[in-house]
Each structure stands twice: as structure tokens, then as C-alpha cells.
Amino acid sequence: MLTDREIFESTVLIVDDELNNIELLEQILSQEGYSSLISTKDSRMAQELYVKHQPDLVILDLMMPYLNGFEVIERLSEIEKDSYAPILVLTAQADYDNRLRALEGGARDFLGKPFDYLEVLCRTRNILEVRILHKKLRSEEH
């Protein structure tokens, strides 16, 4: 069983080109108790920040300039090719084709915008639980 401390000390990376979305997500997560939040408006920074901070969750927009979310998923999945890429897609492009493409590309879950506060928290926690358990299992194997 995981403790709240393990969940709330997890590192979360938010990648969204809209500052308002980043600020809202940071507010929601910090009010819930999450203490390690990193964010960027520039999708080109996602891979570098991922390598540097090794987040337990990436909350990712799909439609961004420079690199779209699908390209970011591909790059992050390559880093985690032997592991569990912890990606939660959060986008206004919530049609079936985009959802399926994101999930098939390596995203673990999907939320449409506008999003529900409680649903963001539930899906965040679900992915974090799997990520933490996956990391524990891998460390026991080595």
C-alpha cells in the first residue's frame, strides 16, 4: 500500500503552451498537497526537463507550437522504452482519433479540456500509484 506522502512527494511535470492552464493545474495540485511541480510552456523543453528531473508524471497538452504533444510522447516514450512512461494527456482536442493516437503512442490516460478538478486529481493519483509501484518492482528486480 502506498502512503499519501509517497504520492504527494512525486514529481509532476506540466507541459502546456497556455500559462493559465499551467497555473490552474499547479494550484489544483499544490492545494491537494503535491509539493514537487515543474512546468514549461515550451514543448521543446519537455525532454530535457524529463531527463533532468525524472518526473513521476507528465501532464501534457497535445496542441502546442514547435513540438506537438504526439511528438513529445514519442520522445518521452523512447527515454522510457523499457519502463512505464507516466503521461497524462490533457487537451481540448478530445476527439476519438486524437485520444486513440495519444494512447497508442504511449500516453497512459487522457482528459479533455475543460477538465474537472476532481477527475484531474483522481487520474493523477492513479497514474502516480502505478508509476511508484512500477519503480519499486524494478528496484527489487535489480
Q: Which mean pLDDT values do the consecutive 10-residue runs of the chain (142 residues) have? A: 91 97 97 97 97 96 95 92 86 87 92 91 96 88 73
Residue 111 confidence (pLDDT): 92
Percent with pLDDT over 70 in the chain:
99
- Comparing C-alpha atoms, which of 1, 30, 52 is closest to residue 121? 30
Residue 91 confidence (pLDDT): 86
